[in-house]
Structure 1
């Protein structure tokens, strides 16, 4: 069946898509969770990357909720989507990433009419050259392993339809036909960095191990449980897993990723420890002799492996700042700055308290002097003359002598 939204012409824009594995992992994870939890609604997400000339890189992806428009079409919530894109841009500043397209599930024949409203929204509001990554679940065949990925990347172009004779008669003179959006397939290739290769290899190994361990764990758990009788079994069978929000799902996914990373690190450390202990035990003559007599093969000493272990341990010393010169100096400088600001604040509070104490003391002293002057006016006059004499002005007699001289 021919898809009317696909252009009959091949792409002439010269664009080439570089697809990173992290996008594939995010898309597959979202689709798997959506299907396992039997959630309703479309599966939609955004794509972040860079555009260097005629090459577009798809480096990161995140899932998006959807809302219904005035005519029932599927759209993105504008406020949430703008805030989410801004957060990802703040995180991925070096190199700077931008919104380059979106992804969703689609039949093997290509995009359909349900994809057009959301694609128009992205073209009008965010990126006029946004690409569309369509994932085809119908092409997945678990029993066979094919090299082709079940996805297609499209670009959108505006093409006018060739009107029929009836449409030409209905067309107003001078009016041009309205162009429609058509999709053209773009060539793409998977580009993998060194860090991504390590991560994919680790995920592939851990997923295979988890798939083998899950049935054994479930069997052991079922053996440990005691069989229950009565209506309790029916109640347990009817128990439904509570639905989780998007934030809770992201938190659980992040925690699982960190847990797997810690388990992988622990296994690597235990492997290094076992190798070092076996090498150290093989160096003793008694152990060597016993192993040779028994016919067992002892661990061979490998200097390159020991040098790699030593290099790894030297890099781990950054975890103790007191042993590093520049790092400890910077840490001490920041600590001193914090303590200095705290001391300056305390000093300001003490100066303010002393000023308040001086003001209160002056008020009390003036009140005492005024009360004592009312009781003994002569004493008040003598104190006034003493103050004038102390200031070099003399008493009343000195003032009169200066007047008549």
Structure 2
């Protein structure tokens, strides 16, 4: 069997082969993949850009839960995964979400091909069985009462090994999945899906103003172009239209009028004078507060008691022996001999 024959073999086993995997998919990776595809379409101007990303989640035996995802970079050849970028982003997510592991990868395609098998081999270093989640935007699903997984253009695949003619090759088995969402996720997804419908009145007002200004701008551009073409002789001169334009321009305020400029300058000077007077009033108030504080501090210093020489002299009295410094009859008191004179 040649290599070409091997490449032409289908890489997905028939539906009779079932996967025993219990797979749960959260809304966040679905939104991330859709946003990734839409953004690349706008950036590359292509309807089928190459989309590649990693899936994060938890795995307990055969129970797998896909919780989050992030984009991946490729080398210049467009076929090789940028391993350094993958390792760095995986470690960054690991620091924020320690419980999440690398579960698999996602892309956008109609169905898995040998190209996806080659990509799959590049992810085996991070997971023994990396899952593949494919977004199929071109697939149209019939309306169904099951709004979880059957109505989504997504398919999950589990890798396996097929033995054919004593040769092994990597293939995929389609794995059914269910969409699992919590209350917080349901609220967040509902709010995201509604977009700006729940905006505030201010946003609605600003959007209306923007639409009105844009419409006015477009109309002015049309009128300017018409007048320019008439002057250049490229458009037919319509006198009724030109008279309407002249009346419209005449109805606008003449900003270059001398009286208007004088009145405007007077109003401007009045506003400046009012602002200057307000500044002077504020400065005067601050100066008054400073003077009041200075007066209070000066009065406190003047009212502070100062010891007089007489008080300082009396402070040295020690019994009657200290009365000798005072005049009068007590000035001659010196011990017991002087005390006898007053008996």
Distance 1:83-1:161 versus aligned 2 partners, 3 A rule: same
Corresponding residue for residue 307 of structure 1: none
Report if the CA contact (8 A) 2:155-2:174 is conserved: yes
Offset of 1:113 from its aligned partner?
2.2
Distance 1:185-1:3 versus aligned 2 partners, 3 A rule: farther
Q: Which whole-Å CA distance do the structure 2 matches of 1:207 and 1:15 have between them?
A: 39
When normalised by structure 2's length, the TM-score is 0.54
Report if the CA contact (8 A) 1:73-1:117 is conserved: no
Q: Which whole-Å CA distance do the structure 1 matches of 2:15 and 2:195 have between them?
A: 44
Q: Which whole-Å CA distance do the structure 1 matches of 2:116 and 2:42 have between them?
A: 23
* Structure of higher CA gyration radius: 2
1:49 aligns with 2:57: yes
User: How many residues end up aligned between the 2 structures?
Assistant: 206
1:88 aligns with 2:77: no
Corresponding residue for residue 62 of structure 1: 70
Q: Which one of the candidate residues 222, 238, 249 is aligned to 2:214?
A: 222
1:120 aligns with 2:117: no
Unaligned runs of 5+ in 2: 1-7, 226-343
Q: Which whole-Å CA distance do the structure 1 matches of 2:186 and 2:163 have between them?
A: 44
The equivalences for 1:2-401 within 5 A come to: 4-8=10-14, 10-38=16-44, 41-68=49-76, 74-93=79-98, 96-107=99-110, 110-123=111-124, 125-139=125-139, 147=147, 148-162=151-165, 176-177=166-167, 179-208=168-197, 219-225=211-217, 226-227=220-221
Offset of 1:10 from its aligned partner?
4.0
Offset of 1:84 from its aligned partner?
0.8
Report if the CA contact (8 A) 1:106-1:112 is conserved: no
Cα deviations by residue, 1:321-371 (Å, 9 ceiling, x for unpaired) = xxxxxxxxxxxxxxxxxxxxxxxxxxxxxxxxxxxxxxxxxxxxxxxxxxx
Distance 1:102-1:56 versus aligned 2 partners, 3 A rule: same
SS at match of 2:164: coil
Corresponding residue for residue 362 of structure 1: none
SS at match of 1:65: coil
Distance 1:206-1:8 versus aligned 2 partners, 3 A rule: closer
SS at match of 1:75: coil
Q: Which whole-Å CA distance do the structure 2 matches of 1:3 and 1:208 have between them?
A: 49
Q: Which whole-Å CA distance do the structure 2 matches of 1:114 and 1:188 have between them?
A: 24
Offset of 1:73 from its aligned partner?
6.3
Q: Which whole-Å CA distance do the structure 1 matches of 2:91 and 2:136 have between them?
A: 29
Offset of 1:11 from its aligned partner?
4.6
Q: Which whole-Å CA distance do the structure 1 matches of 2:80 and 2:191 have between them?
A: 37
Q: Which whole-Å CA distance do the structure 2 matches of 1:28 and 1:221 have between them?
A: 33
Report if the CA contact (8 A) 2:18-2:175 is conserved: no
Corresponding residue for residue 301 of structure 1: none
Offset of 1:87 from its aligned partner?
0.5
SS at match of 2:129: coil
Offset of 1:193 from its aligned partner?
1.0
Q: RMSD of aligned C-alpha atoms?
A: 3.1
Offset of 1:13 from its aligned partner?
4.5
SS at match of 1:66: coil
Q: Which whole-Å CA distance do the structure 1 matches of 2:114 and 2:210 have between them?
A: 44
Greater fraction of residues in helix: 1
Offset of 1:201 from its aligned partner?
1.9
Offset of 1:34 from its aligned partner?
1.2
Cα deviations by residue, 1:100-142 (Å, 9 ceiling, x for unpaired) = 00000011xx20122122111102x11111100000010258x
Offset of 1:16 from its aligned partner?
1.2
When normalised by structure 1's length, the TM-score is 0.46
